[in-house]
Amino acid sequence: MNFEELQKKATAEWQSLSNLDHPHIIIGTATCGRAAGAMGVIAAIKNELAKHNIPATITQVGCIGICYAEPLVEIAKPDRPHIVYGNVTPKMVPQLIEDYLLHDNPHPELAMGTVGEETIEGIPRLWELPILKPQVRISLRNCGIIDPEKIDHYIARDGYSGLVNALKKSPQEVIDEIKKSGLRGRGGAGFPTGMKWQFCRDAQGTPKYLICNADEGDPGAFMDRSLLESDPHAVLEGMLIGAYAMGANDGYLYCRAEYPLAIERLKLALQQMEAYGLIGDNILGTDFSFHIKIKEGAGAFVCGEETALIASIEGKRGMPRSRPPFPAQSGLWGKPTNINNVETWANVSAILQHSGDWYAGYGTEKSKGTKTFALAGKINRTGLIEVPMGISLREIIYGIGGGIPGGKEFKAVQTGGPSGGCLPATLLDLPVEYESLAEAGAIMGSGGMVVMDSDTCMVDIARYFLSFTQSESCGKCVPCRVGTKHMLDILEKITRGEGTPEDVDLLLNLGKSIKVGALCGLGQTAPNPVLTTYRYFADEYEAHTRDKICPALACTDLITFYILADKCQGCGICLRSCPAEAITGAKRLVHVIDQSKCIKCGTCLEVCPTKFSAVVKVSGEEIAVPSEPVPVTAARPTAGTTAQDE
Amino acid sequence: MKEIFAHYSGGREELIPVLQETQQHFRYLPEEAMQEIARFLKVPASTVYGVVTFYAQFKLTPLGRKIVKICRGTACHVRGGAKILEEVEKQLGIKAGETTEDLEWSLETIACFGSCALAPVMVIDNEVHGRMSPAKVKSVLSGTE
């Protein structure tokens, strides 16, 4: 079959799904959906359909990025707009199947939104929701829409037309198109992609290799996992285009082993491409040949660094080496090699499907196009989003993310993982661009965005990241191996309340030296979380060292929990919930925490009924409480309530 | 081992995939297996050992029948992941990286599971348990959750 015939067949299959004479049920089953219970929901739906003898087609799709509302179920009845339901549980299934499919009650109170031209009263349009409306989805264009295990779905939505367009051009024209788009590396550093390709194309030596870096190691980042699970062909098509442009015949996709579903779907995608003649020798009847091998990582964060990743593919310890020579000159097996990250490749296929100018129409002068972000932490709407460059942090966190849960105050947002920094509330209007983030001391990074509220201690966050980089340091160069260990020791001392102001000076000095002295990106950026938290939150370092207080009440060595004698009603909830069995008391007796047993987990504070609010957490102050249980003297907060009601 | 070697051509770059398949089979990497791998790929045994100890995935002692993984990603950290780890350590009586004497449980921490939206997260075998709290640990471990 030639490409037009493939397209025709794919389009027919795709359209048949929207013209079904029976209901179509679409469920997101990427890792997030599964973790939230999507597979149980599918089983319940199948049961319910069988019970009522309703014929229906069930399609599993990837992740649309509305993670906070997973599992998501979309129901399409013939001649009705699709309705998307969020937070679906097996218990809700009869309401969706029996009530809606049989009795036409769409349950607007359970629905999130509709898809399609017409609307249903009481249900907003899905793409008008605040989480989706500001988004421009280019690399995520098919995520949550197509079945990632069906190549026909991808082809029907313009898939592989970018490859066809590229093959009609000369390799240099393809590189020029990428240059025109202004695309920069989405792995974090932001090097112009077109220029990187040019270096590799112009490099002497054959064969040339091409690598897709899917070793997404930044904690708090899941863009690449989601993209590979939801639309693997978008990435693979990008690799084909790059291989043609740079003259490579062999490529590797290096994926971390923690992503088994992504690996499974990639393997399946490669088989389907082979069946369609889209990979292997003489692709689509041309003399362009390209082969892709999938390599599974083995659990080393440093392998996300390009030279370490190459060493790992060669079967060695994943240790970086100094550059130059850059991989474009001497990479895998000493040959010219180009490495781009998952999201970059997915943008490449979109750019060739449209044009470089089209892509450059989004974003800002120096940061073109769009960027995906994984929103997590203390934010109402956690999810995976794609926005035009230049959008402000405020629009992302408050507009799309819906702000901070529990009405708490925003404190900082962490971008760029362990290499990045924490930006404070005063920078909320900062546009998201490579340059502006770097000036503020953070980095764009691969796209992890972890939001922190007033309960998060910035010194503890710095300690957390240092413990991460320290344990992931490969040990090759001294500044990183020894330096990060010293920084971590100092930070641990400070969070225990044993630090001095001199320790802070030493910490900052060490940080500056490691930045210039370390061999690779991991070491050079390891001090960033410390340097930015100090830059914006120096008062917290002072409170820990001078006053021995943790203002956020997070550092366990500096906090104490008390049960207030004048508030406790002796209901026993905290006693039963305490995992350390540190609480003594009995019905109608004031409960007491044995401080020597307390592990400071905060469970008692969480479970104490809000109308009593008898448990407090303090730092740097002592509260007088009875040493053993005494009869309750506190007045009941509301008439008629007894402790047993709780 | 012969069955495993049949899937490979004997090139040095196959070291990591061979180790991964071997570990999947034995649930750890026995010394004899590593020696055989060194002979098969014609590399010094020290190279095999060097690679095995570099990557977190490879284990030199047998793993338990059930593997609990606690995510130590940023989102999990911010939402109290450290407390989950402490509680699991207490319940199982082992520290992260250890296996119980009866080989029933192994406890590991992983850098990030990429299920940040459901933080804090713990994983038993391949089942992800999201939105954890220290109080829920006991029931999740006993499978009554």
Contacts of B94 (CB under 8 A, 6+ apart): B100, B105, B107
Contact B79 A68 (CB under 8 A): no
* Pairwise CA distance, residues A569 & A608, whole Å: 10
What pLDDT is attached to residue B130?
A: 83
Q: Tell how far CA A394 is from the center of its chain.
A: 18
A228, A408, A450, A578: which to substitute to probe chain B, counting the most B Cβ within 10 Å?
A: A450
The answer to whether A170 touches A24, Cβ cutoff 8 Å, is no
A173 Cβ partners below 8 Å, 6+ apart?
none
Strand-pair category, A73-76 with B66-71: unpaired
Give the ipTM. 0.90
Residue A583's SS3 state is: strand
Q: Are A70 and B79 an interchain contact pair (Cβ–Cβ within 8 Å)?
A: no
Contact of A406 with chain B, judged by CB distance below 8 Å, is answered with no
Q: Give the closest of B78, B87, B111 to A579, CB-based.
A: B87
Please report residues of B whose CB lies closer than 8 A to that of A474: 54
The pLDDT of residue A433 is 95
Q: Which residue of B has its CA nearest to A333?
A: B13
Q: Which fold has domain A559-646?
A: Alpha-Beta Plaits (3.30.70)
A334 touches chain B (CB under 8 A): no
Q: Which CATH architecture has domain A160-360?
A: 3-Layer(aba) Sandwich (3.40)
Classify A566 as helix, strand or coil. coil
Q: What 3-state class would DSSP assign to A90?
A: helix
The C-alpha of B15 sits at a distance from chain A's nearest C-alpha, in angstroms, of 5
Across B79-121, where does the E strand assignment appear? 105-110
d(CA A352, CA B103): 54
Select the CATH number that applies to the domain covering A370-453 from these four: 3.10.20.600, 1.20.120.920, 3.40.30.10, 1.50.10.10. Answer: 3.10.20.600
- Is the torsion defined by CA of A358, A363, A368, A373 positive or negative? negative
Q: Chain B residue with minimal CA distance to A600?
A: B83
CB nearest B112 (choices: A220, A383, A607): A220
Instruction: Enter the tokens of residue B71.
Output: 């995510």
- In angstroms, the separation between the Cα of residue B8 and the nearest Cα of chain A is 13
> What pLDDT, on the 0 to 100 scale, is given for residue A18?
87
Kindly state whether B104 is in contact with chain A, defined as any CB-CB distance less than 8 angstroms: no
Q: Which of the residues in chain A have pLDDT under 70? A: 637-646
Q: What pLDDT score does B119 carry?
A: 87
So where are chain A's domains?
9-128, 160-360, 370-453, 458-547, 559-646
Report the SS3 class of residue A63.
coil
The CATH class for the domain spanning A9-128 reads alpha beta
- Residue A357 has what pLDDT? 98
pLDDT at site A185: 96
Q: Point out which residues pair with B129 in neighbouring strands.
A: B122
Q: Tell me the two tokens of residue A231.
A: 């639309």
Using CA atoms of A313, A316, A320, A325 in order, give the dihedral in degrees to the nearest 10.
-70
Residue A345: is it exposed, middle or buried by C-beta count within 10 angstroms (0-12/13-18/19+)? Answer: buried
pLDDT over 50 (residue B123):
yes
The domains spanning A160-360 and A458-547 adopt the same CATH topology: no
Is the model's pLDDT at B128 over the cut of 90?
A: no
For residue A84, what are its two tokens? 């998307």
pTM for this model (two decimals)? 0.92
CA angle A500, A503, A505 (to 5 degrees): 120
What domains, with CATH codes, occur in chain B? 2-54 (1.10.10.1590), 66-141 (3.40.30.10)
Name the class of domain A458-547. Answer: mainly alpha
SS (H, E, C) A93-127: HHHHHHHHHHCCCCCCCCEEEEECCCCCCCCCEHH
Query: Residue A579 and residue B138: Cβ atoms within 8 Å?
Result: yes
Interface test with B, best of A29, A32, A34, A224 (most B CBs within 10 A): A32
